[in-house]
Structure 1
Amino acid sequence: MSIQTGGLLKISTIPLSEIRRPIAPVLDLQKIDAMVSTLKGLPEASKTCTKEEAAAMDSQLPPIDVLCVRDQGKTYYFAFGGCHRFQAYDRISQESGSEVQVRCKLIPATRSQLSLYVGSSLDDMFD
């Protein structure tokens, strides 16, 4: 849970392909393996989660905070955290051959708020 979404109870699902990730992640592959196992219903421990905690997740990962920006009638989704969860969802999608829905907590944002994260590359973030 994050400070930004700690009070948000609504969890939405967004197709993995619709969420833009403008910052390259730094990854721990063992952590991703453990998350994939959790999604498959076979919980494993990782550096940040015990096997018991993973089992209590009931084959789900915590939702990812996603900024939701409306621009010229279109909705764009941006995520800056949740790197390992995204990689786990991506691996499940590749293994199954179908689009995966990502559990998210949506944070409404404007273009100017998004610019705080991406700076001068803001215009590159939109089609």
Structure 2
Amino acid sequence: MVRIQEVPINQIRRPLFRQNDQEKVAALMTSIAEIGLQEPIDVLEVDGQYYGFSGCHRYEACSRLGHETILCRVRRAPRSILQKHLA
């Protein structure tokens, strides 16, 4: 089951480092400031913890704008699914 909800940005763990395109982040910051975040990011909820593996540019843009929460598409998953994402 997937649900859409606001999640505190500081509660989303991003275990895989990814280099973001700073021009894309800047463009998203402008767009999000003007019209808001249009597409939620995807996160896994495992044992009450949130893990983000996609939506890196949107996540960074919202963080840099000072947003405390971000709209997420949350999918609850067992630890075995998290391990597959980390492999």
TM-score by length of structure 1 reads: 0.63
How many residues are aligned here? Answer: 87
Alignment of 1:114 with 2:87, yes or no, is: no
Structure with bigger gyration radius = 1
Give distance in 1, aligned partners of 2:83 and 2:25.
29
C-alpha displacement of 1:61:
3.4
Give distance in 1, aligned partners of 2:40 and 2:60.
14
Q: Which runs of 5+ in 1 are unaligned?
A: 42-57, 94-98, 120-127
**1:23-34 paired onto structure 2 within 5 Å:** 23-34=16-27
Out of 62, 68, 71, the position equivalent to 1:89 is 62
Give distance in 2, aligned partners of 1:27 and 1:62.
18
Moved over 4 A (4+): none
Indicate the residue corresponding to 1:21 in structure 2.
14
Q: Give SS of 1:30's match.
A: helix
C-alpha displacement of 1:78:
0.3
Give distance in 2, aligned partners of 1:21 and 1:108.
16
Query: Which has the higher relative contact order, 1 or 2, with Cα contacts under 8 A spaced 6 or more apart?
Result: 2
C-alpha displacement of 1:101:
0.8
Give distance in 2, aligned partners of 1:61 and 1:83.
15
Q: Give SS of 1:32's match.
A: helix
Out of 61, 85, 92, the position equivalent to 2:38 is 61
Deviations 1:55-77 (A, max 9, x none): xxx3223100100112xxxx100
